[in-house]
Amino acid sequence: MGETKTQFPGDTAIKPRRKRTDEIVDAIKRMIVEHGLGPGDRLPQEPDLMAQFSASKGTVREALKALEVQGLISVRTGPGGGAFIERMSEGRAMSLLSNFLFAKNLSIANIYEMRKVLEPQLAASATPHIDEAGLKRLEAIITIYDHEPADHAERWTQRMAELDFHGVVAEYSDNPILAFTCRFLQRLLKDLAVAQDIYVQPEPVSRASGIQHQRDLIAAMRRRDAAAAADILAEHMREAEEHMLGLQAKLMDRFLTDEAAPRTRKRRSA
């Protein structure tokens, strides 16, 4: 029989010991915040970090490398070199998240499941803050796709502009996490292979309802009606999901038909 360990009141699970490098990474992040360091500011020199954290040169360099990979610092060599604070760009942050999701078999349905929940909240949060210049930008974007495209290039431009409309709304949200997440979902739709395949198809696209929703949204935001803005975006996202999934189904049917056609011709010739 195996030995049974008695659990006494107040006992807690023993946490696994963290790598010294990870501890130093977290300590440097705290130092950046506590000292109010910003982009362009230099961290203490390597010997000072070694002394401050009682760590070897190799451990400190490994920690700095980890911070550099995360995009938080850049390490420059030569005279005047050292570790400097970098501003993490939104594009880089999105690229890192996209890399994480690369092998997750992300689908259009996955993205719209999130958009249907978040985009209405985004519109409501932006409504009190958007100014007339922002509303004019939204109106100008609509003119990019309020007509049939002349060619393949304009078709692609129109589809990207439809997503850019929502990116402008996100700029006026007072919730940075919500705004970033919605812009990230919009970027995923631009980058997702199956979505790109849909965007280049010469399918006649009925935009009338979607454009009306967007114009209604602009009107609601202009009168500072956050509840109406949320309701309009909820319906807009529902229709957009239905539209995209319908186009995806057509694309798949066409693909299966094209795949079957050569086999059919081969059997007939035999």
214-255, pLDDT tens digit by residue? 999 999 999 999 999 999 999 999 999 998 888 888 776 665
CATH for 20-85, options being 1.20.140.10, 3.30.450.20, 1.10.10.10, 1.20.144.10 = 1.10.10.10
**Token code pair at residue 171:** 């700029």
User: What pLDDT is attached to residue 104?
Assistant: 81
Give the pLDDT mean for 120-133.
98
Q: How many CA atoms lie within 13 A of 214 on its CB side?
A: 26
Residue 1 has pLDDT above 50, yes or no: no
7: helix, coil or strand? coil
d(CA 260, CA 254): 10
Kindly list the domain boundaries of the chain, sorted by start residue: 20-85, 91-256
User: What pLDDT is attached to residue 78?
Assistant: 81
| CA dist 45 → 41, 57, 60, 78, 179 (Å) | 12, 11, 10, 13, 36
Give the pLDDT mean for 137-159.
93
User: What pLDDT is attached to residue 229?
Assistant: 98
116 close to 238: Cβ distance less than 8 angstroms: yes
Spatial CA neighbour of 163 closest among 134, 135, 186: 186
- What's the whole-number average pLDDT of the chain? 86
Give the pLDDT mean for 89-99.
79
Give the pLDDT mean for 8-22.
64
What is the Rg, in whole angstroms, of the alpha carbon atoms belonging to the chain?
26
CATH topology classification for 91-256: Four Helix Bundle (Hemerythrin (Met), subunit A) (1.20.120)
- pLDDT tens readout for residues 197-214: 888 776 666 788 999 999
| CA dist 234 → 157, 162, 228, 239 (Å) | 25, 16, 10, 9
